[in-house]
Each structure stands twice: as structure tokens, then as C-alpha cells.
Amino acid sequence: MELRNKEYLAWIRVAEEALKEGDYGVAAQYFRRAANYFWLIRDKEEFEAFARRACECHLRAAESMWNRGDHLGASSFYGMAAGGFREIGDKAKAEDCDQRVGECYEAIVREGFSSFPEGVKDLRRMGDHFEAEGDQERAAKCYREAAERATKEGKMVVAAGLYRDAGECHRLLNDPEGAVKDYEKAADSYFKGERYFEAAWHYNLAGFLLIAMGKFDEARKLAGRAEIACLEGRVTVLLNHLTRVCEHLSRGNTFEAQEEWEKIRRKFKTEYATLIDSCFKAQQEAHAVK
């Protein structure tokens, strides 16, 4: 314990020195380390004191960046400050910081996202902030912009995860067409990053959304790409079955699709099972029209 005491005292000294030099990000990092130490030894009062100091440093860092015109960098620090203030129960300051993240977003939109050619991490943080607030539309935009930058940097798996997150936002917005576009891009990126299981899953997910919309030809193409991913990655039986369900439904082979689906349905979360069940209904309605 004596060694740990010396460690946290050293962290506080580093934080204080960084604060004097105006390096607010570093100061926040070390104040937060001290706060975590007090959390571990269950000293609530000291934890809250140092956590607050970390928040205040994040806030000062954000304001400094905002004044320099770095609205994307500022958004990250405002977001961290908001999360920290919320953690220690300071709702008013947390909400003020939430509002400032929104102002950063609006400034970036006015200037154009292309004015910030890098910033994958900052855009993802801003997306996470909006997603936690339930603002799926802004979150999707941030995730997609981050994904495009990650792609340009050759970080295909990172890009894939960001496109996936954008797709999830569109699904929650009840925008299946937007979800399909992002899930397909996620799948392409996973494939290029040799993450074949994830690629096959997202090709199938996009395919089922297309089937639910009655777009069977487009779904068939994605089912074929899912099959290639399964073969390339020697993917497990579960996704092989799912790919066959997508393939059969896209071709109108409802009986064969049902046989495959019954083998694996219980292994899927309710939300995905419901989506796939709706595809059978879409296929039945398409046949009824004919």
C-alpha cells in the first residue's frame, strides 16, 4: 500500500505541473489516475474531488481547442467532461457540456467535415456521445465520416466497425435503406481486413433487410458474397445455414429456407430472429401479388 501511496502522489505532482504549463489533457489524465486509485480503496470523497479536477481540465482543454478553431478536438474533450461530471452526479455541468458537444457538431457541419481530414478517434467519440444521448442521426453521420477516414488510412477493420455502428443507428431510426448501405460497407471492409465471419454476418444482415423490403435480386447478390466469405474464412456451420436461408429466400425457395431456419433460429437474439421471420412474410406477400 505504501508503494501505491507514493504512486498516486507522483500522479498528482505530474498533473499539477501539467496544469501550470497549460497542458490540460495530460493534467486530466493524471488527475483521473489519482481518482481511480481512491475509487479502488473506496474513498468516495477523494475520488469525487480528483474526478472533478479531471473534468475541469477536460473542460479547459475543450475551451482552448474551441478558441483555436479545432471544433473536432474540442468535441472530444467536452464529451469526456460531460461523462465525468455525470459520473460524480453534477447533472447541470454534464448537460452544459452535452450542449457544447452539439455546438461543436454544428460548427463542423457548417465548415464541412472535409475540413477535418483526420480525426477518426475524435469522430468516433462524438458518435458515441450522440448515440448514448439517443441522437442516432448525428451519431450515424459521425461514425460514417470516421469510417471513411479509417478506410483512407488503410484501417479496414476499424472502418468496418464504424460502418457497422452507423448501420445500427439507421436500423434504430427505422431507415432500412440507410442500414443496408452501411452494413454492406461494413461487410466489404471486414472482408478486406480478412475478418470473414463478420463479413458474412453483415452481408447476410443487409440481405435480410433487402428481402424484408422486397428487393430480392439485390439480396441474392449479397447472399452470394456472404457465401464467398464463408468459404474464404472456413466459417462455422451457423453462418453457413444463415447464408443459405438468405439465398433461398432471395430466390423464393420458401420451403428450403424454412428448413434451414428452423435448425438455427433459437441461437439468434430476438431482434435478429424477428427480422428474418419478417422476410418469410415479405416473400409470401410477393408471391400473393404474383
pLDDT at 286: 62
**CATH for 1-116 (1.10.150, 3.90.25, 1.25.40, 1.20.1270):** 1.25.40
Cell triple for residue 284? 409470401
Boundaries of every domain in the chain: 1-116, 119-194, 208-290
Specify whether the CB–CB gap between 126 and 145 falls below 8 A. Answer: no
**What are the contacts of 85-89 at 24+ separation with CB within 8 A?**
85/52, 85/55, 87/51, 88/48, 88/51, 88/52, 88/55
Please state the pTM of the whole predicted model: 0.84
Displacement of CA 178 from its chain's centroid (Å): 15
pLDDT tens for each residue of the chain, 290 residues long: 444 567 888 999 999 999 999 999 999 999 999 999 999 889 999 999 999 999 999 999 999 999 999 999 999 999 999 999 999 999 999 999 999 999 999 999 998 887 777 789 999 999 999 999 999 999 999 999 999 999 999 999 999 999 999 999 999 999 999 999 999 999 999 999 999 989 999 999 999 999 989 898 999 899 899 989 988 888 776 777 788 888 888 888 888 888 888 887 777 778 777 878 778 777 777 655 54
Is domain 119-194 in CATH 1.25.40.10, yes or no? yes
Q: Please indicate whether the domains covering 1-116 and 119-194 agree at the CATH topology level.
A: yes
Per-residue pLDDT reduced to its tens digit, 122-146: 999 999 999 999 999 999 999 999 9
